[in-house]
Structure 1
Amino acid sequence: MSDSGWYVVQCRANQNYRAQENLENQGFTCFQPQLCLEKVRAGRRVRRQEPLFPGYLFIQLPEQGSGWHTIRSTRGVTKLVAFGDCPAAVPPALIDALKLQTQASANDDRPALRPGRPPAHRTRPLRGHGGGLTPLRRPGRHRAAQHAP
């Protein structure tokens, strides 16, 4: 697909993986950024890969719009995110940056947010804003906070 762009698909509740599998079975290229999270399950800490954007995934489609109608009827899919009648395109640079970031975090076995390590905001909307994890009274529990400059 040389003449294609990236778009956002809204998935049904807890059906991101089903939607991605069904769309890929139809020949579409999908991308679902993952985040390594540390959660407590049955009193034990467990690392899991979870979607960075729960309920959404990215799909690569031809610019002309052929095949867009089949997306709505795919199991696990709610709709193609659009502004009016025109699907909302995602800049390819954003997809490339997300792919780079998810590959880097996949190689890093540590969780994305850790106490004492502020998030690195390098893009304009959040650049200069601080934040981080604040320890709570219970051991192992933290609160995420975002601070204005």
Structure 2
Amino acid sequence: MKHWYLLYCKRTEQQRAEQNLKRQGVDCYYPIVTVEKLRRGKYQQVEEPLFPNYVFAYFDPECVQYTSVRSTRGVVDFVRQGAYPVTVDLALIQQLMVLEDSDEQRETLHQGFKPGQRVTVEYGQFAGAEAIFKERDGEKRCILLIKMLNRQTELCVNNTDIKAAH
């Protein structure tokens, strides 16, 4: 009976592992998301795996041996619980396929704030303060405008420390 398994792959070799597994009759899946990255001073849309180094494999262990899957080029090993490979619930795979690269997913993953948007600082010494999103400062930080002593001051915080104000 076919099941989904989780494989750990060598760094940046998910595509190679997928190609070699498909030649053996193993169905593969790894979710891809589009992210905005700063490259050479400009933001670019880049596709990258949601779970780097991991591939979901769907096969029947009676038809395809565990050892042949594990020894496939690009694959390191199964994700295991004790001595046995972990099976992944079909509902989880289907949910990942539905959410893959949706606008909602992108907003959640990458905090897609727009300049001028009102935000609330959730953590740190300015927790609870309202501010205005000014711009991103690299991949993990952003610059906010916060009112202090009757004037707007720039504040640099982690993207994960803010949320949209209601």
**TM-score under structure 2 normalisation?**
0.65
Matches of 2:90 and 2:161 in 1, distance apart? 28
Give 1:90's aligned amino acid: V
* Structure 2 residue ranges without an equivalent (≥5): 120-130, 142-157
Q: Which runs of 5+ in 1 are unaligned?
A: 119-133
Greater RCO, 1 or 2 (C-alpha within 8 Å, sep 6+): 1
SS at 1:14 equivalent:
coil
Displacement of 1:144 after TM fit?
Answer: 3.3
CA distance in 1, matches of 2:106, 2:160: 16
Aligned to 1:89: 87
Question: Which residue of structure 1 aligns with residue 8 of structure 2?
Answer: 10
Task: With the length of structure 1 as denominator, give the TM-score of the two structures.
Answer: 0.72
Alpha-carbon distance between aligned partners in 2 of 1:92 and 1:111, rounded to the nearest angstrom: 23
For 1:140, the equivalent position in structure 2 comes to 136
Q: Which has the larger radius of gyration?
A: 2
**Within 5 A, what are the aligned runs for 1:1-149?**
3-62=1-60, 64=62, 66-102=64-100, 105=102, 108=103, 111-112=106-107, 113=110, 114-115=112-113, 139-141=135-137, 142=141, 143-145=158-160
Aligned length: 125
| Equivalent position SS for 1:145 | helix
Distance 1:45 1:146, change over 3 A: closer
Displacement over 4 Å in runs of 4+ = 134-137
Q: Write the distance in 1 (CA, Å) between the matches of 2:82 and 2:90.
A: 22
Q: Is the 8 A contact 1:38 1:111 kept in 2?
A: no
Determine what percentage of the aligned residue pairs are the same residue: 31
The residue identity in structure 2 corresponding to 1:145 is T
